[in-house]
Structure 1
Amino acid sequence: MSQQVLTATIPHEALGDRLDVAISPLFSDYSRNRIQQWIKDGNLKVDGEVWKKPRQAVLGGENVELLVEIENTTEIPAQEIELDIVYEDDSIMVINKPPGLVVHPGAGNPDRTLMNALLFYNPALREVPRAGIVHRLDKDTSGLMVVAKNVPAQTSLVSQLQRHAVERIYDAVVVGKMARGGTIDKAIGRSPGDRKKMAVRAMGGKEAVSHYRVLEHFREHTRIRVKLETGRTHQIRVHMAYLGFPLVGDPVYGSRFRIPKKMQEEFVQFLRGFHRQALHAGALSLTHPATGKTMKWKAPMPDDLFELVDVLREDMQDYENAQLGYDDFDYDYGVEVEWVTDEDIPD
């Protein structure tokens, strides 16, 4: 943990403002939430006295000293791991994370994570909290993530995430025949029965909103697209399971495999061997921290998800041909599914 004492004077026009509101503009490199926590931790002195209440009113003209504490990554080794960098400039990087890569070191995954890879690729990220990582994807979820390359960029991105101003759109395949799209607005919190899992909670959960639409129907599965309004842990996995349509391959929130009748054995074996949740963060949009411009990126589904969709398409066509007596009919199953526009996703 690196520490630094910053000083400033509260302007007289801040008379009557809350303490956290008054000093946040004075230390604009850091988010208001972080400043609030430092105040509660006793890191702020006002005219030489420690103030611990963010809501306390100020008079204006007070001299403040803020002890800034930044988590460093000196003990985390830099490791050469290939990164799929979609975009990079002086402020941010956008990474297309493969399935199987853990984001942060932790219990059971002490290294070989995205953080280790980032520190090898750019050693200067040791000066940025959490090596610039501002949000996460589960180990077995693939897709786009943004990384901040400096503290001001990180503060901007964290603020955008907190204001739900970062657009994230996911492709998924769920178990079951979903009739139509919609919106699920159900709070999510720790499962009372298993603290390692999340669950929809009527009491004690945090707001969680997911908008979803149906892209493609199969015999016993559905391909969907989900737009997150919030970003809770395991949000899409929990919400889809709550609706009765768990993600294919989800080892935590999934159900037993639903194998369509008369499915070819090779297709059956593929489904049984699909051991990760069928979820991909395919689109990301945000306001650039330095330029203020809106930027958007898209990443195609990885090969394993393409293969899953192809298997389900071929199975459906096989079944339909059999019903029509076309068992020996040579049919081209190739179908391209285009991205929907942002306007097609409900606000």
Structure 2
Amino acid sequence: MAEIIQHRDTVPESCLGKRFDQTLAEMFPDYSRSRLKEWILAGHVTVDDVVVDVPREKMFGGELIAIDTEVESEVRFQAQDLPLNIVYEDDDILVINKPAGFVVHPGAGNPDGTVLNALLHHCPQLDVVPRAGIVHRLDKDTTGLMVVAKTIAAQTNLVESLQAREITREYEAIASGIMTAGGLVDEPIGRHATKRTHMAVTHSGRPSVTHYRVMEKFRLHTRLRLRLETGRTHQIRVHMAHITHPLVGDPVYGGRPRPPKNASEELRELLRQFKRQALHAAMLSLFHPITGEVMTWHADVPEDMVALADMLRKDTKIHLSDSDY
């Protein structure tokens, strides 16, 4: 399956002296610069009915531009009938609430059975959209909201919005330790120097900013609301571990469970058995990539995190008087 793409338009006079590839990017903003350059080099774009395959060619204004190409499907990925919790869908985007244990994209150790495979089954036309329209990812065991683009135009616009920090993503988490106030972590994140599957705060990493505020304090844990400015791999998990407040249950950055002193065996067991990072993408807000409408979605915190917060709350009430917390 392939998507046929055909466009005809006249170069505006304002593009006088600009490069061919820059002019195309201004005239057809629904497509990324890299994709437009591919089409130029492949001879799929004509100027006044003549193929021009030189991106640096200068424009005068008034030329007739024609794009005539196909986008091939990503045939290496298989469509699979897997359940998706879709909270919103229209012709351009869909928003899902991802459960724990669901890998977003095929990779080493997870060749299929992923969100991407499920998306291809639910919406077959996604096979012509890069990464089946996935714009941002959640870790396997992080739950919550993800937006997916159903067209190339929608994906291009969403990626640009993400890079411009115009998409708001807020998370709920339960962290180890007592945090007295909110703040932000502004530390670069990159690959760990020796553990190649891990990320770490490192001077050579990419800029990364996480805002957090305290929602509720327990005896030895804190419930947080966090907002991402950037979207690095494992960002919240790495940043919270960096400030010595790793997320409960994090198998990579969390360390051993830390029950409060004199905690009940029930709470101790719950902390021992909490095998995923206590992290949930609770709110997503963005400008619709086609209509420009502001849209916001919320996803309830999953049962395992609710049960953990309830148990920590019960423990706090038993051991501390009202004046202590």
Q: TM bucket by the smaller chain?
A: 0.7 to 0.9
Structure 1 runs not aligned, ≥5 long:
325-347
TM-score by length of 2: 0.87
Aligned-partner Cα distance in 2 for 1:189–1:207: 9
1:339 aligned partner? none
1:146 to 1:218, Cα distance in 2 relative to 1, 3 A? same
Does structure 1 conserve the Cα–Cα contact (< 8 Å) formed by 2:93 and 2:148? yes
Aligned-partner Cα distance in 1 for 2:103–2:242: 25
1:270 to 1:239, Cα distance in 2 relative to 1, 3 A? same
Aligned-partner Cα distance in 2 for 1:223–1:69: 49
- Give the secondary-structure state (helix, strand or coil) at the position aligned to 1:310: helix
2:246 aligned partner? 246
Does structure 2 conserve the Cα–Cα contact (< 8 Å) formed by 1:43 and 1:66? no
What percentage of residue pairs aligned between the two structures are identical?
51
TM-score by length of 1: 0.82
Does structure 2 conserve the Cα–Cα contact (< 8 Å) formed by 1:5 and 1:65? no
Matched, 1:193 2:194: yes
2:136 aligned partner? 135
2:318 aligned partner? 318
CA apart distance, 1:29: 2.7
Aligned-partner Cα distance in 2 for 1:83–1:281: 16
CA apart distance, 1:192: 1.8
Q: AA paired with 2:238?
A: V
1:175 aligned partner? 176
Aligned-partner Cα distance in 2 for 1:85–1:116: 15
Does structure 2 conserve the Cα–Cα contact (< 8 Å) formed by 1:3 and 1:67? no
CA apart distance, 1:219: 1.1
Does structure 2 conserve the Cα–Cα contact (< 8 Å) formed by 1:283 and 1:298? yes
- Give the secondary-structure state (helix, strand or coil) at the position aligned to 2:320: helix
CA apart distance, 1:202: 1.6
Aligned-partner Cα distance in 1 for 2:319–2:70: 62
Does structure 1 conserve the Cα–Cα contact (< 8 Å) formed by 2:288 and 2:294? yes
CA apart distance, 1:57: 7.2
2:117 aligned partner? 116
Aligned-partner Cα distance in 1 for 2:165–2:70: 26
RMSD over equivalenced CA pairs, Å: 2.8
1:309 aligned partner? 309
Aligned-partner Cα distance in 1 for 2:231–2:86: 22
Match runs of 1:1-347 below 5 Å: 10-32=11-33, 34-35=35-36, 38=38, 42-43=41-42, 50-51=53-54, 56=56, 58-60=58-60, 70=71, 72-203=73-204, 205-320=205-320
Per-residue CA distance 1:57-116 (angstroms, 9 max, x = gap): 734357878797856332322222221111111111110000110011111111111111
1:80 to 1:7, Cα distance in 2 relative to 1, 3 A? closer
Q: AA paired with 1:308?
A: L
- Give the secondary-structure state (helix, strand or coil) at the position aligned to 1:153: helix
Aligned-partner Cα distance in 2 for 1:263–1:192: 37
Aligned-partner Cα distance in 2 for 1:258–1:316: 14
1:327 aligned partner? none
Aligned-partner Cα distance in 2 for 1:26–1:6: 13
Aligned length: 317
CA apart distance, 1:166: 0.5
Structure 2 runs not aligned, ≥5 long:
none
CA apart distance, 1:162: 1.3
1:126 to 1:185, Cα distance in 2 relative to 1, 3 A? same
Q: AA paired with 1:309?
A: A
Does structure 2 conserve the Cα–Cα contact (< 8 Å) formed by 1:248 and 1:278? yes
Aligned-partner Cα distance in 2 for 1:28–1:279: 35
